[in-house]
Amino acid sequence: MESHIALRADNIVKYFYEPEKFQVLKGISFEVKKGEFLALTGKSGSGKSTLLYVLSTMDTDYEGQLHLNGEALTGRTQNQLAAFRNEHIGFVFQFHYLLTDFTVLDNVMLPALKLNKKSRAEIEEKAYQNLKLLGLDGQALKLASRLSGGQQQRVAIARALINDPAVIMGDEPTGNLDSKNTQNVFEIFRELAHERGQTIIAVTHDEDFARNSDRIIDMSDGLIV
């Protein structure tokens, strides 16, 4: 795979078997460049979330080939994939899944403590840098539950960035936010892509958000249109 490609999907096919056999992804192929900000759009039920879960390596029940950062991901064990994900992919969901009884700082540090490649002091420094980038440096020692929805979503982004992932994936990352916070998250994603070379793949229903991304992949009925 060429070195400027962050992710490549080749002919991804997936079925669901309940309540009856149903082909949800019908042969999806595309590449995403390093530093590209991609929006994944399409009507409800078109298969966006299903595709994102395949791309994220969380769902391994598919046919086809997936390469991320030049590495083939097909045929690995669940443990190998979990380790790969923690190091190379950051996730931001519509609902942030923060540990609300922990501080903001603890939440952001957690994936790096799990990865266990840096000292606690280095991780803490990186966490403070991320919080600063997201305008949250004054909030580090508060409980996550004490922050507003928009602030919590920014904490989730700071957490997603802690291991410097090559790819950041979002499933409706602004779905729960007002227009001001949506704009804010959009600007952060753009900066990560264009200034740091991180690749963003975000499922979104927000037309403005999609229109301002670098490229839209529009899905319909399990296919890219």
Ligand X SMILES: Nc1ncnc2c1ncn2[C@@H]1O[C@H](COP(=O)(O)OP(=O)(O)OP(=O)(O)O)[C@@H](O)[C@H]1O
- Whichever of 44 and 119 has its CB closer to ligand X, that residue is 44
Residue that has been written with the tokens 């916070």 in this structure: 181
Q: How far apart are CA 206 and CA 61, in angstroms?
A: 29
Q: What are the structure tokens assigned to 69, written together? A: 């950062």
Q: Is 223 helix (H, G, I), strand (E, B) or coil?
A: strand
20 interacts with ligand X by CB under 6 A: no
User: In this chain, which of 24, 168, 201, 217 binds ligand X, going by CB under 6 A?
Assistant: 24
Q: How far apart are CA 30 and CA 10, in angstroms?
A: 7
- Give the number of other CB atoms < 10 A from CB of residue 193: 21
Q: How far is the CB of 46 from ligand X (least distance, A)?
A: 4
- Whichever of 1 and 13 has its CB closer to ligand X, that residue is 13
45 interacts with ligand X by CB under 6 A: yes
90 interacts with ligand X by CB under 6 A: no
Q: How far apart are CA 88 and CA 4, in angstroms?
A: 16
For 46, phi then psi, to 5°, come to -75, -15
Taking CB under 6 A as the rule, which mask of x and - marks residues 50-89 in contact with ligand X?
x---------------------------------------
116 interacts with ligand X by CB under 6 A: no
Q: Count of residues binding ligand X (CB under 6 A)?
A: 11
- Whichever of 48 and 126 has its CB closer to ligand X, that residue is 48
- Whichever of 44 and 77 has its CB closer to ligand X, that residue is 44
Q: What are the structure tokens assigned to 163, written together? A: 């291991």
Strand partners, 28: 12
Binding site for ligand X (CB under 6 A): 16, 18, 24, 42, 44-50
